[in-house]
Amino acid sequence: MTAQDTAPPLLTPDRLDEVEGWFFDADRFLFDWLLTHQRDHGIRGDLLELGVYKGKSAILIGYHASEGERFTVCDLFDAGEAPDDSTATEMRVYYPTLTRQVFEANYLRFHRRLPTVIQGSSSEITGHVPARSCRFVHIDASHLYHHVRADIASARELLTSDGVVSLDDFRSPHTPGVAAATWEAVLNAGLKPVVLTESKLYGTWGSADVLRDTLAERLTTHPTLWGVTEDVAGHTLLRIHSR
């Protein structure tokens, strides 16, 4: 997928809200800011989303695929495709209406062509996406600890040196496995947190300081969001809140 495949820039908050899903204002801002910041600073690479639900965040990511960059999404789409019983149960409970057809129909309301769609387990993604090829990876697939841990390891393999990973639901009360895997990566696997929202942690295995400081400066003029810098377990991070 390239910039030529995207529709005209008709993505507005109201239009995106027509798509069912959870994608809050702070995260919409961060996706747009981070991907634009990368482009403006010459950081190139492919884009990847693990777990798409009905396409809300994928639609926004798709607008940032520049010429020559590929956008790939990966999802089971069907509980029958789940690799184990616990994943199948998670899908039946939380995503009973998720289908590939719904995702594709939603995406094509905003873009002329679909991204590369991998229907299957996120554990297979390194067989489809080259190592060190991605500048941005959004992880929102299984919320079970062992799967999230594996997805983070895959993201580390696939990201470029300056790439950013976004981890969804790391603070939600019903997803303790995501919290465990996320902070384990920070404390034991070299992931450097850049910024936190109410639902996502954004981090990098590259240099976090300049990115965090540039974002903090941008937030001083944002009309509805503000940031607080905090030191946690030897890491400096930025927390974003609504004004």
- Taking the C-alpha atoms of residue 65 and residue 72, their distance in angstroms, rounded to an integer, is 10
Say if residues 142 and 87 touch (Cβ distance below 8 Å): yes
Contact 203, 186 (CB under 8 A): yes
Most confident among 10-19, 97-106, 108-117 (mean pLDDT): 108-117
Q: Do residues 94 and 56 lie in contact, with contact meaning Cβ atoms separated by under 8 Å?
A: no
pLDDT at 78: 75
Backbone CA torsion sign across 31, 37, 39, 45: negative
Q: Which pair of structure tokens corresponds to residue 164? A: 């950013």
Q: Alpha-carbon distance 59 to 109, whole Å?
A: 9
Write out pLDDT tens, residues 187-225. Answer: 999 999 999 999 999 999 999 999 999 999 999 999 999
Distance CA 94, CA 97 (A): 9
Residues 180, 87: Cα–Cα separation, whole Å: 17
Per-residue pLDDT reduced to its tens digit, 29-71: 999 999 999 999 999 999 999 999 999 999 999 999 999 999 9
Percent of residues, the chain, with pLDDT higher than 70: 87
Alpha carbons 9 and 30: distance in angstroms, whole number: 18
The pair of structure tokens assigned to 27 is 């995260």
The span from the CA of 48 to the CA of 203, in Å, is: 15
Query: How far is Cα 193 from Cα 130, in angstroms, rounded to an integer?
Result: 24
Q: Which of 130, 135, 117, 120 is nearest to 72 (CA)?
A: 117
Fold of 3-205: Rossmann fold (3.40.50)
